[in-house]
Amino acid sequence: MGYINLLGSVLTVFRKMFCTCTNPSKGDYTGVKIPYTYAKLEKCTKDVNWINEALRAMGTMAPENEVLTVEVKPFGPSAGFYSELACISLTYKIPDPLLPTEVIAKFLPRGIEKRLVMDLVLMQKYEVVR
């Protein structure tokens, strides 16, 4: 009987994983490519075009400003519990105290076991609260 109670959660995790795997490349709100792993983030930030596009699309950065440098560094292996973490350091053409100079990127864990545990304890709900 206990396994029946888990069925809904298992199916939910499979649905979420399927949805993120079939179209992981575009943000629903802005249409800007979303890197969904640390390696893809590194690739996106090889030049500043992607980060400029992302910051402008969200209205974070004015069109006349631009990012001059981007540095991506990983956090320690256990810092993200189940997820990969990265610190993105930014410098701008026009310094502005309202612009972020460091951004933390956290990626969904890969693998059914980790995703199932996160879903069962509603971990992602408590990490992203607005």
Percent of residues, the chain, with pLDDT higher than 70: 65
Q: What are the tens digits of pLDDT across the range 55-110?
A: 998 889 999 999 999 999 987 655 556 677 889 999 999 999 999 999 888 887 77
What pTM does this model have? 0.67
Mean pLDDT across the chain: 76
pLDDT at position 6 is: 52
- Which sequence spans correspond to the domains of the chain? 2-127
pLDDT at position 1 is: 43
Distance CA 71, CA 43 (A): 12
How are strands ordered across the β-sheet holding 67-74? 67-74, 84-92, 102-107
* Higher-scoring residue by pLDDT: 59, 27: 59
**Within a 10 A sphere around the Cβ of 88, how many other Cβ atoms?**
18
- Return the closest-CA partner of residue 104 out of 69, 68, 128: 128
Q: How far is CA 70 from the centre of its chain?
A: 16
Tokens of 52: 């400029």
